[in-house]
Amino acid sequence: MVESGIFREHLQLLLLNILESGPQSGLQIIQQVQERTGGFFDLRMGHLYPVLHELEQDQQVLGEFRATSRGGALVKYYALTPRGSHEVQARKSELEQLTRTLPFLLR
């Protein structure tokens, strides 16, 4: 599922959109994906982290380790960068335009 190009692009947009609300850990992101898609994206850690890594490489997301309140274990939190914020707005705009145009294309 995630390996397909169109799903990967939508997943990237979904992750960026989730991170607009603030920094989150991988587990929190997975929970948000499940909640927001009604389970459509059955996202696993093994699929999430490569996509987050791509977004980090492209400087759209910044990962930062933080100590947890339970035992001080380090957990990586991901935050949207200014570049990521710009990208999510641009992609949303493109998707909205496509959504408006699609009914005319499918006639």
Please identify, in words, the CATH class of the domain defined by 4-106. mainly alpha
pLDDT in tens, 16-69: 999 999 999 999 999 999 998 888 878 888 889 999 999 999 999 999 999 887
pLDDT in tens, 43-57: 888 889 999 999 999
In 10 A of CB 89, how many CB atoms?
Answer: 13
Q: Hey, what amino acid is at 50?
A: P
Percent of the chain with pLDDT over 90: 56
Task: Tell me the H-state helices in the chain.
Answer: 5-19, 26-37, 45-57, 82-105
User: Which residues share a beta bridge with 62?
Assistant: 79
The predicted structure's pLDDT at residue 2: 45
pLDDT in tens, 3-16: 567 778 888 999 99
